[in-house]
Amino acid sequence: MSDRIHTLSGYIHEYQRSVNDPEEFWARIADSFHWQKRWDKVVEWDFDKPDVKWFTNAKLNITENIFERHLYTLGDKPAIIWEPNDPNEENRIITYKELYQMTNQFANAMKSNGVGKGDRVIIYMPMIPEAAVAMLACARIGAVHSIVFAGFSSTALADRINDCTAKMVLTSDGNFRGAKSIPVKAVVDEALEKTTTVEKVIVYQRTKEEVTMKSGRDIWWHDAISDQPEEYKAEVMDTEDMLFVLYTSGSTGKPKGVVHTCGGYMVFTKYTFENVFQYSPGDIYWCTADVGWITGHSYIVYGPLLAGATTIMFEGVPTFPDAGRFWAIIDKYKVNQFYTAPTAIRALQAYGTEPIAPYKLDSLKVIGSVGEPINEEAWHWYHSHIGKGKCPVVDTWWQTETGGIMISPIAGVTPTKPSYATLPLPGVQPVIVDAEGKELKGNSVEGNLCIKYPWPGMIRTTYGDHDRCKQTYFSTFKGMYFTGDGAKRDEDGYYRILGRVDDVMNISGHRMGTAEVENAINEHPKVIESAVVGFPHDIKGQGIYAYVICDMEGRSEDNLIGEIRETVNKIIGPIAKPDKIQIVPGLPKTRSGKIMRRILRKIASKDTGNMGDISTLLNPEVVEAIIKNAK
């Protein structure tokens, strides 16, 4: 734990050092890991191509840094504490040694079923320890995992399977969420009708509901592991071999596969985990995310396990069986660090303080937030009612592409400020640039947030389409990584994230491209054209507002709206269902035919006082008509 920063002056010193000599800085952090072969060069980079390599030519396996490295000292310590959806079902406590054996056993099972180094494996599973075992087993044999959030539809799943030409799918029969049980295997079956590359499907029996098992293709998890040994010698990986692909939405219609590699991701997630949360040996840490998102990858599985921490995995939802569930779990396990999303905080805030009253919450030392800007009101509620005024709130800004936390307070070490992510972590060099890409130096500035120097956890490419990576992140502003976020640096030098500046929405902390939702809406046969924008939503942060031009012949508006919503549900999944759908006679367009989203955003947020100059539009009259019928 020698890399942990303990004091403000320590932070200032480390930060300076990381900027003055990044190679010396990261080499020192990386030194504490187990490498099978040391690197020749700490970093090699060219943001124009882009081509970024960390710890060139080093060899390692990330799972050796979780298991072999910890087994002697931490073998009997809980690695994962699993809390089931139903509080009356028994929990599971899995030690490092047990997790190691489960991982090896499953690694052998995958190997026997034809998966090897470099093959892609889709994980479409509920929040059970086997999801972590699946990830770690892939890493152990050098297969590339790609987790698809189990709430995505069969179409979305098929698209991802096809994009990365996956050979295997790991899934479950069903998934318990709150009072419901959701079929999972059936969704996989449907997806596989639209794909050709998957040879084997391994199914974990969770809900015991009936499923069809296709002979020769589908195998039960318990059968797959039954005769497998609990040892597996980790594959030797190059530092820049792919560790995983994770699909995320962007401003174009098709989600892209963000690629992370072994060495840099390992160093960055452990370092940021230990520092931001100030994890001490023996602490119980809980992140409420799902493994289907990057937060689950970096801060439920890899970061905490690399640090030898005890990480809680929760299968359920915050409001089942009641709105006190989170607080009950915190007391049950005496959680020390708690990490959740603003949308969950706001949703629970709406229940008042009554559900909190039965609980002490006195084990908490640090509380964290991630996924979207946390508004001041939610920050204060979280700080006083959950943190009891004594726990620092770490508002952590980062992205799927950054691999780990970039801008955040270091708990108890650097200052916090409501609604501010505050200061960059050591090794992270953010800049704010204007529309032309000119760096705005000094304090009290506002503009586009970029990063001007590489960091070990950063995206390397977008799967199968390197040019897309270049266009999306490295072309808007030359020589810099562009985050897509707007930010301000205040008079004290603290960063405040202002939200996306591109056509990407943030719905309950989940990223969703407007074009992706539009494409789904347009699949409905009666839809002629659509435009989607985000609007402020009390709980979700942003909601989805869809303006749709339809062929109304013989159809009622209500039916059509219901069908469009269902179309989106089918093509993407419930998280993309529009909150509001308005059938419109036309969409405001410029003379060159570009949809004026600025106007649609104003209408969606009920801010129609000053629409600006609309006289230059191709069809100014539709604006009035849309405002009149706005939802």
* Binding residues for ligand WT7 (CB under 6 A): 248, 293-295, 370-373, 395-400, 421, 483-485, 497, 499-500, 506, 509, 511
User: CA-CA distance, 127 to 28, in Å (whole number)?
Assistant: 35
Length of the chain as a residue count: 631
Q: Give the nearer residue to ligand WT7 in terms of CB position, either 63 or 429.
A: 429
Q: Which residue has the tokens 């640039």?
A: 433
Q: Give the nearer residue to ligand WT7 in terms of CB position, either 171 or 248.
A: 248
Q: Based on the number of CB atoms within 10 Å of its own CB, is 608 exposed (0-12), middle (13-18) or buried (19 or more)?
A: middle
Q: Are 263 and 456 in contact (CB under 8 A)?
A: yes
Closest contact distance (angstroms) between CB of 502 and ligand WT7 is 9
Closest contact distance (angstroms) between CB of 256 and ligand WT7 is 11
Token pair recorded at residue 198? 């998957």
Q: Give the nearer residue to ligand WT7 in terms of CB position, either 402 or 519.
A: 402
| Cα atoms in the Cβ-side hemisphere of radius 13 Å centred on 181 | 13
Closest contact distance (angstroms) between CB of 166 and ligand WT7 is 21
Closest contact distance (angstroms) between CB of 255 and ligand WT7 is 11
Burial 471-508 (b: 16+ CB within 10 A, else e): ebbbebbeebbbbbbbbbbeeeebbbbebbbbbbbbbb
Which one, of 549, 548, 531, 539, lies nearest residue 600 by Cα?
A: 531
Token pair recorded at residue 500? 């996306």
**Angle (nearest 5°) at CA 248 between 514 and 532:** 5
Burial 406-425 (b: 16+ CB within 10 A, else e): bbbbbbebbebbbbbbbbbb
Q: Give the nearer residue to ligand WT7 in terms of CB position, either 277 or 397.
A: 397
Closest contact distance (angstroms) between CB of 132 and ligand WT7 is 18
Which one, of 474, 450, 452, lies nearest residue 462 by Cα?
A: 474
Closest contact distance (angstroms) between CB of 552 and ligand WT7 is 36
Q: Give the nearer residue to ligand WT7 in terms of CB position, either 104 or 508.
A: 508
Closest contact distance (angstroms) between CB of 421 and ligand WT7 is 5
User: CA-CA distance, 98 to 575, in Å (whole number)?
Assistant: 35
C-beta atoms surrounding 295 within 10 Å? 25
Q: Give the nearer residue to ligand WT7 in terms of CB position, either 509 or 543.
A: 509
Closest contact distance (angstroms) between CB of 395 and ligand WT7 is 5
Closest contact distance (angstroms) between CB of 35 and ligand WT7 is 28
Which string of DSSP letters, residue by residue, matches 433-466?
A: E-TT--B--SSSEEEEEEE-S--TTS--EETT-H
Q: Give the nearer residue to ligand WT7 in terms of CB position, either 64 or 503.
A: 503
Closest contact distance (angstroms) between CB of 493 and ligand WT7 is 17
Q: Give the nearer residue to ligand WT7 in terms of CB position, either 204 or 299.
A: 299
| Cα atoms in the Cβ-side hemisphere of radius 13 Å centred on 188 | 33
Q: Based on the number of CB atoms within 10 Å of its own CB, is 228 exposed (0-12), middle (13-18) or buried (19 or more)?
A: middle
The residue type at 328: A
Closest contact distance (angstroms) between CB of 420 and ligand WT7 is 9
Q: Give the nearer residue to ligand WT7 in terms of CB position, either 294 or 307.
A: 294
Task: Give 582's DSSP letter.
Answer: E
Q: Give the nearer residue to ligand WT7 in terms of CB position, either 269 or 400.
A: 400
Preceding omega of 342 cis (within 30 degrees of 0): no
Q: Give the nearer residue to ligand WT7 in terms of CB position, either 190 or 502.
A: 502
